[in-house]
Chain A
Amino acid sequence: MIKDTWRFEPFNEEPIRLIDEEGNWIGEFDLDLSDQELQELYRHLVRGRLLDERYQIILRQGKTSFVAPSAGHEGAQVGLAKAVRPGFDWIFPYYRDKTLLATLGYPVELLYAQMMATRLDPNKGRQMPEHPGLRELNVFTVASPIASHAPPAVGAAISAKIQGTGQVVLTTFGDGATSEGDWHAALNFAGAQGAPIVFAAENNRYAISVNFEKQSGSPRIADKAHAYGFPGYQVDGMDVLASLYVAREAVERARQGLGPSLVEFLVYRYGPHSSADDDRVYRSREEVEFWRKKDPILRFERFLEKRGLWTPEAGEKLREEVKAELLAAEEKAEAAGPVPPEWMFDDLYSTPYWLLEEQRGILLAEL
Chain B
Amino acid sequence: MATLNIVQAVKRALDEEMARDERVVVLGEDVGKRGGVFLATEGLYQKYGPDRVIDTPLAEAAIIGAAVGMATHGLRPVAEIQFADYVFPGFDQLVSQAAKLRYRSGGQFSAPMVVRMPSGGGVKGGHHHSQSPEAYFTHTAGLKVVVPSTPTDTLGLLKTAIRDDDPVVFMEPKRLYRAIKEEVPDEEFTIPLGQARIRREGTDLTLIAYGGPTVEALKAADELTKAGVSAEVLDLRSLVPWDKETVLNSVAKTGRALVIAEAPRTASFASEVAATVMEELLDQLMSPVYRVTGFDTPYPYVPDREYMPTVTRILNFAKKALDY
Contact = CB atoms under 8 A, between A and B. Distances in A.
Interface string B72-105: 1111010000000000010011001100111111
Interface in B213-247: 241, 244-245
Contact of A158 (B66, B92, B100, B105): B66
Contacts of A351: 164-166, 241
Contacts of A181: 61, 89
Nearest to B25: A162
A162 B75 contact: yes
B105 A123 contact: yes
A151 B104 contact: no
Interface string A343-367: 0001111110111000000000000
Contacts, number: 160
Interface stretch (B10-18, B106-114, B286-294): B106-114
Given A148-B65, A158-B69, A162-B25, A346 B241 contact: no
A272 B202 CA distance: 66
Contact of A148 (B54, B74, B92): B92
A135 interface: yes
A153 interface: yes
23 contacts: A123-B106, A127-B104, A135-B105, A140-B109, A143-B96, A151-B61, A151-B97, A152-B93, A154-B69, A155-B68, A155-B71, A156-B73, A159-B73, A162-B25, A181-B61, A186-B65, A186-B66, A189-B56, A189-B57, A189-B59, A192-B56, A351-B164, A351-B165
Given A140-B109, A149-B97, A152-B97, A350 B66 contact: no
Nearest to A355: B241
Interface string A4-34: 0000000000000000000000000000000
Nearest to B75: A159
B108 A135 contact: yes
Given A148-B97, A181-B89, A350 B70 contact: no
B311 interface: no
A188 interface: yes
B255 to A, nearest CB: 23
Contacts of A163: 74-75
A155 B73 contact: yes
8 smallest CB-CB distances across A and B, nearest first, come from A151-B65, A155-B69, A155-B66, A124-B106, A152-B69, A350-B165, A135-B108, A141-B105
A126 interface: yes
Interface size classification for chain A = 35 or more
Nearest to A192: B57
Contacts of B54: 158, 193
A51 interface: no
Contacts of A160: 73
A159 B102 contact: no
Given A141-B101, A192-B57, A347-B103, A90 B62 contact: no
Given A135-B109, A141-B105, A185 B62 contact: yes
A86 interface: no
A131 interface: yes
Nearest to A346: B107
Given A155-B70, A158-B69, A185-B62, 9 more contacts: A122-B105, A135-B109, A156-B73, A181-B89, A188-B59, A350-B166, A351-B166, A351-B241, A354-B241
A159 B74 contact: yes
B102 A350 contact: yes
A219 interface: no
B207 interface: no
Contacts of B110: 350
B96 A155 contact: no
B29 to A, nearest CB: 12
A357 B236 CA distance: 20
Interface string A185-226: 110110011000000000000000000000000000000000
A133 B108 contact: yes
A157 interface: yes
A124 B241 contact: no
Contact of B164 (A182, A192, A346, A350): A350
